[in-house]
Amino acid sequence: MEDDSKGAVGLDLIPQLSLDCVIFGFHDGLLKILLLRWKETEEWSLPGGIVLQRESVDDAANRVLMERTGLTEIFLKQFHTFGDLHRYDKKELQNKLGHVISTEHWYDRAVSIGYFALVDYAMVFPNPDKYTDECKWVDLKEVPKLLFDHNAILEKAIQSLRRELSFQPLGYNLLPEKFTMPELMRLYEAVLDKKIDPRNFQKKILKSGIVIRLEEVKRGLAHKSPFLYRFDKERYEEVLEDGGLFFV
């Protein structure tokens, strides 16, 4: 959201246009969000960045995400454009972040393109940027008050992700290669924030054909060892492209 053009000669920016990225991960049955903590503060925000004149907005989003996660192949979806006249208070920013970056580097009005990304939690190595001391996963239900309008952006991203469940499968980018049916169901429950009937869920998932049951079970559990599954990538992609009703 910041204007870096005054302090970074040679960067050919698109004035007043930025990106804000909501990066979702899934771990221990909980939906996680990747957040940044600004230098020498307890102030948090979503990852974001600038768009260069010589790159598409999708390329800019992939670049920002690679810098924060270390991943190059990421499921990425543009979900909303945020262009309210007053998205943040420059005086408040000066009080909280003036020691990091002067308010003269902030746009009087910024338009931000929102993206959400789905990533494998175990594959991410969070990296802070030059304005921040820390980049880490936070449980969705423990997200603090964020800078700018980032809480509203996060809520919009969650709403968009939930709508995706009406017509597309979920999990390929959020789960490890092999997983159990209860693990997949817990992912859906974490996104929807409600309990799901396990028998109905399994029936719908198997009917869709997006998963293949393996001749392996998950060991080391207290109860009966459940079978492991993996996604049928070809069928998964077909369901994504069809856009038909998948799960409600």
pLDDT of residue 220: 65
Sign of the alpha-carbon dihedral angle for 51, 53, 55, 57? positive
Q: Give the other-Cβ count within 10 Å of 11's Cβ.
A: 12
Prediction pTM value: 0.87
Regions in the chain scoring below 50 on pLDDT: 1-10, 248
- Tokens 């469940």 label which residue? 165
Backbone angles phi, psi at 80, to 5 degrees: -170, 155
pLDDT of residue 248: 44
pLDDT of residue 11: 57
Rg of the chain taking only CA atoms, in angstroms: 20
pLDDT of residue 7: 41
CA–CA distance, 64 with 169 (Å, rounded to integer): 26
Backbone angles phi, psi at 44, to 5 degrees: -115, 155
Look at residues 172, 68, 159 and name the one whose alpha carbon lies nearest to residue 120. Answer: 172
